[in-house]
Amino acid sequence: MRTALTIAGSDSGGGAGIQADLKSFAAAGVHGTSVITCVTAQNTKAVTSIFPLPAAEIRAQIRAVLDDFDVRGAKTGMLYSAEIVRIVAEELRGTSFPLVVDPVMVATVGARLDREDFRDALVEHLLPRADLVTPNRNEAEKLSGRTLEGLGDMEAAARAIRDLGPRAVLVKGGHVAGELVDVLYDGVRMRHLRSFRYPKELHGAGCTLAASIAAYRAQGQPLLEAVQSARRRVASGFLTSYRAGRGVEIINSSFREDRYGVWRALMEASPRLSTIVPPRLRPRRGPEMLFALPGATSAADVCAWRRAEGAATFGVTPAEARVPLAVLHVNPTLRASATLKYPAKNASRFASGRPGTLVLGPETRQGRPPDGRIERAIVEAGTPVDVLVDAAHGGSDTTLRVFGEDPGRVLHKLRPVLRAARA
């Protein structure tokens, strides 16, 4: 069991701060330790009071944790003042574990969570110690001195913040208009990490992301892998968010990936798939049914059932994952799909007469993935899409994919598709 540390404020509403961090640590599989910097009186509607703990007490908490636990990763959240920043930086001096700095300045409900002297102290004392800093739009603007309106501005801000001392910067794009893109810059490479934009503002999302990154770093994951793993957890937390109070919803920081549940659902559906799909409609190669983890972002997150192997396993090729992940990017609920070798003449007739069916032509499938072409085609269809006809290769047969929320729903949708193939 690896140990992670959070240094942050307490949220009496339980949706953010120390509470969200410890839930994220547990969900990611690490033991969580904590140092409370401030006690806040807040709920899902407002922050009504902030009480910073005495400096000596914050220092004592840090020393108590570091004296006993083998901390492998840490994150800071609400530090509030220059004095607290200096104390934290002093006590972490000499440590070498990865440190994720979430430069918390404003709460989701709009309250200021920092003092005027906070920004300069953060830059001077703590950012040079950071493995990663994770500012949102507002925080990136304050740290970089730039206005963020688009992707180019985010890249410029990432470079400017990287020059302040951290090893890497993740500028979050949740509050920047347009496609949701997070920018990760490590001084060498500028990476664009794309995500589905969920139409809701959640309490605790930033805390969950930073804490999850720290947890995965504590487990030994490299920085990029830890960021990708954490972003997937946040996406899953958005999908399973809930309303506990009368204000904004709360992200599900406790969400755990049920890999066994995904595998089992696929294995239970496979005998029925074998029964209803005749041999002539089975794909010559590749998986016949897929089921992705919630918030899947890579081929490793997709479980596949292949007839030749007679079993379901996680991990498909990038080519096999391209279309399913594109669909997930547009509609995160369509996690399952079945693939058919479909007669081309029937496919064109089926596509023209059924709402929710989209034909992917050669111009859509060309290009080096991920280039967003499939996602744009789905969005431009103007209607929810759950059947894709892949006409990129021509010939007497084509590939047809049926999508659903789970394997059972896919099997239900297959019935009219199979009837149309026999017509």
Q: What tens digit of pLDDT does each residue of 15-50 get? A: 999 999 999 999 999 999 999 999 999 999 989 999
> What does the pLDDT read at residue 329?
85
Comparing CA positions, the residue from 89, 139, 143 lying closest to residue 120 is 143
Comparing CA positions, the residue from 248, 293, 234 lying closest to residue 24 is 234
Spatial distance between the Cα atoms of 172 and 368, rounded to a whole number of angstroms: 25
Q: Are 239 and 197 in contact (CB under 8 A)?
A: no
Q: Are 251 and 24 in contact (CB under 8 A)?
A: no
Spatial distance between the Cα atoms of 377 and 423, rounded to a whole number of angstroms: 28
Q: Domains of the chain by range and CATH?
A: 3-250 (3.40.1190.20), 259-422 (3.40.225.10)
Assess whether pLDDT exceeds 90 at residue 52. Answer: yes
Comparing CA positions, the residue from 258, 166, 237 lying closest to residue 195 is 237
End-to-end CA, the chain? 58
> What does the pLDDT read at residue 377?
84
- pLDDT grade for 395, boundaries at 50, 70 and 90: low
The number of residues in the chain equals 423
> What does the pLDDT read at residue 349?
72
Spatial distance between the Cα atoms of 228 and 176, rounded to a whole number of angstroms: 20
* Main-chain dihedrals φ then ψ at residue 401, nearest 5 degrees: -120, 130
14-23, 330-339, 343-352: which has the minimum mean pLDDT?
A: 343-352
Question: Mean pLDDT, to the nearest integer, of 398-402?
Answer: 88
Type of residue at 367: G
Q: What is the pLDDT of residues 77-123, one digit of tens each?
A: 999 999 999 999 999 999 999 999 999 887 666 566 677 788 999 99
Task: Output the six-digit token pair for 338.
Answer: 């079945």
> What does the pLDDT read at residue 303?
94
Q: What is the pLDDT of residues 208-263, one digit of tens each?
A: 999 999 999 999 999 999 999 999 889 888 888 899 999 999 999 998 878 889 99
* Main-chain dihedrals φ then ψ at residue 86, nearest 5 degrees: -65, -40
> What does the pLDDT read at residue 115?
73
Task: Output the six-digit token pair for 131.
Answer: 């493995």
